[in-house]
Amino acid sequence: MSNLVRGFVIALTLGCMTVGSQAVAQSKPKVTSLGPDYPKTAIFIGNSFFYYNNGLPGHVSLLEKAADPEHKAAYRNTMVTIGGSGFDWHDVESYFRPNAVGKYSFDDNNVVVFNKPGRLFDAAVMMDCSQCPIHPTLKPVFIEYARKDADIVRTHGTRPIFFMSWAYADKPEMTAQLAEAYTVAGNENDALVIPAGLAFARALQQQPELVLHVADKRHPTLAGTYLASCVVFAALTGKSPVGNPYRAGIDEQTARFLQQVAWDTVQDYYGK
């Protein structure tokens, strides 16, 4: 193959992986919806990307309750996180032991509510460490534990879901790499993948001045957490977050932009 032709092929391949500067996954997700009976309760298993800004799961709950105020008591999200953790740091089986995680919660008036026994969570949203799925040493661990944890979750009647994290602020090439790794893992384990990382890339492509990372270039600002929360809401419920009155204290214009980016990303990723 001549150098000219080889260069054309490489350029074409890279072009297929990006839209402008917006990265996409090469593989297409097999699971694109949780159906009409979407999860009302979920356990989020991960690391600091989940617990920054008072916890992504809490923002998801508030989006869900704002979208369905008549049944807001039905929505409950619980977070189990270890800073810097990967899949293999978590003893997922222990999170489903009786009378433990999720035994009780707090309502809008801060009253303790004892949850019904039996299946505590409809879904488990799981995230590996920010580099693990694409790290040369840790990628095999990601693949192994994606399967193990998905199997554990299913034995408890809960649906496994993978959360695709975002690229570091100074390493945008991570977006396509993470998207591919999570999409392949989702397909291999019959699990829905939440494309938060793709939403970060889309938002920054459309508004480069938007700040979605804090100074360490990894963790999310409040806007970043809110964007990811809107993606989770859209992926889990199949409903658009656009116009949702819950804005996490973010100004209306920015919140509406992030809501639209989340919805557009979910629609594109799932091919709808």
- pLDDT tens over the chain, length 272 residues: 444 434 433 333 433 344 434 566 689 999 999 998 899 999 999 999 999 999 999 999 999 999 999 999 899 999 999 999 999 999 999 999 988 998 898 888 999 999 887 778 999 999 999 999 999 999 999 999 999 999 999 999 999 999 999 999 999 999 999 999 999 999 999 999 999 999 999 999 999 999 999 999 999 999 999 999 999 999 999 999 999 999 999 999 999 999 999 999 999 999 98
Tokens of 195: 């494309």
| Cβ atoms of residues 104 and 115 within 8 Å | yes
Whole-number pLDDT of residue 107: 86
Q: Of all helices (H) and strands (E), which one includes residue 42?
A: strand 41-46
Per CATH, the homologous superfamily of domain 37-269 is SGNH hydrolase (3.40.50.1110)
Predicted local confidence at residue 15, as pLDDT: 38
What are the CA-CA distances from residue 252 to residues 84, 206, 230 (Å)?
Answer: 32, 17, 14
Neighbouring residues of 12: CB distance < 8 A, sequence distance ≥ 6: none
Global pTM value: 0.90
Residues 6+ apart with CB under 8 A from 210: 203, 204, 223, 254
Q: Report pLDDT digits (tens) over 19-72.
A: 434 566 689 999 999 998 899 999 999 999 999 999 999 999 999 999 999 999
Measured CA to CA, the distance from residue 264 to residue 258 in angstroms comes to 10
**Which backbone phi and psi does 30 adopt, to 5 degrees?**
-85, -35
Structure tokens at 20: 């402008």
DSSP 43: E
CA dist 212 and 53 (Å) reads 12
Can you give the pLDDT at residue 81? 98
Burial class (CB in 10 A: 0-12, 13-18, 19+), 239: middle
